[in-house]
Amino acid sequence: MQVFDMIIDGLPVKAESTFDVINPASGQAFARVQAGGPAHVDQAVAAARAAFPGWSRTSDKHRQDLLHALGVALEEEMPALMELVTKESGKPLGGLNGIGAGMEVGGAIAWTHVTADLELPVEVIQDNDEARIEVHRKPLGVVASITPWNWPLMIAIWHVIPALRAGNTVVIKPSGLTPTATIRFVELANRILPPGVLNIVTGESGVGSAIARHPDINKIVFTGSTPTGKNIMQNAAGNLKRLTLELGGNDAGIVLPDVDPKVVAPKLFGVGFHNNGQTCACLKRLYVHDSIYEELVGELARIARDTIVGDGLVEGTQLGPVQNKTQMDFVHELVEDARANGARILSGGKARAGNGYFYEPTVIADAKDGMRVVDEEQFGPVLPVIRYSDIDEVIARANANENGLGGSIWSNDRTKAAALALQLECGTAWVNEHGAIQPDAPFGGVKQSGLGVEFGRYGLEEYTSIQTLKIMKN
């Protein structure tokens, strides 16, 4: 069994004990990882703090070159990284509609190169006979990244690369459920970057809270649940840490009556079920007009029954297991609550017997607002489908949820759909798509789905402070 070490100041670091990493397809351990603690956080932050002056003074061009070199190293390591991602997260190597470990690692590589090329030029506010006023973007210092288990490597890249590009140094704590691909990424990075620029501390008990409270950390970027994000925000108040929080989502999609159910159903299924629904910006509540409701739910259920569920390392698998048993049990609890309250379970609705955390793709008809499976984020292979008849009413119903990450409108009339999409209370709205993101377009939530944005120039700015320089000329 492979044992993974922490990396602090460019060197492997062991703890007094290790913990197992479970393959959700088998329920068995495939790796051991160091169980770090608050003392390791202190060590990593000290290394990052010591490395910051040199790294922040490194030229933009040199930082860009090093990050591009890291992108190349990730590409060379792609098959091994894909295997680690599949073993720890359960997502197939290929996956439903090509969204699997290959997409995760490939996306991580692309994000690295695109982010490396981003620029934050000096902005000139005034330049006349009286004075020249410039606005400079400066790195913050030490950035801490706390990542979740659903897209472990991809989200690590989203956090780390813009922080490094802006001139910050980083301490990352991956989820204890999925740390291995991230550790391998940090190992590769430390062959390229100066010591201390990127450090990783693994472990659960006390590590996250030590990061949130640490007085020498200048910013935290966190992706995960809303309750955890609020806890981080409270603990970060001690030294007014900057925060970027991408939190829970319960994204609504609204299907207008002018679409063909047979044409739209495969796309809707894909955006609701890729990665087993374990994506913050998956479609999680589907509102369908009465006139096409029965035909559309029937098509979705048929697709669900035909979907290949299994071990992600087996060729042809479309959906893997739920990442952990606790999450699988929660998903089943929501399904049973819907069943008890009169909903129809058209497909799935149960876990598979045997090893691993496999839950059958589940389409729920006659779901209603107020049911737990509609009001709460399922984060699993479950899609509740809700009827509507009035468009203004359904927009209000979609907006009534406390989350506001993403939303979508589905229609053959793109102009009308775009106008409706702008009425959705969410950070990103799509027309005839859902959850599609890219490294040059900002992404973030409103309401209880977080604060700040990631990606592109807007995301890069979040890793900087503004300094205004005024130069008098007389």
pLDDT in tens, 15-35: 999 999 999 999 999 999 999
> With respect to CATH, is domain 2-247+449-472 assigned 3.40.605.10?
yes
Max CA distance (Å), the chain: 81
- pLDDT computed for residue 216 by the predictor: 98
- pLDDT computed for residue 219 by the predictor: 98
- pLDDT computed for residue 454 by the predictor: 98
CATH number of 251-439: 3.40.309.10
The residue assigned the tokens 């027309």 is 431
- pLDDT computed for residue 152 by the predictor: 98
- pLDDT computed for residue 204 by the predictor: 85
Bridge partners for 428 per DSSP: 406
- pLDDT computed for residue 458 by the predictor: 97
Q: Where are the domains of the chain?
A: 2-247+449-472, 251-439
In the chain, the N- to C-terminal Cα span, in Å, equals 71
Give every CB contact of residue 302 below 8 A, 6+ residues apart in sequence.
347
Give every CB contact of residue 140 below 8 A, 6+ residues apart in sequence.
166, 168, 218, 219, 242, 463, 464, 465
- pLDDT computed for residue 127 by the predictor: 97
Burial of residue 59 (number of CB atoms within 10 Å: 0-12, 13-18, 19+): exposed
- pLDDT computed for residue 362 by the predictor: 98
Positions in the chain short of pLDDT 50 = none
- pLDDT computed for residue 105 by the predictor: 98
Catalytic positions are 246, 280
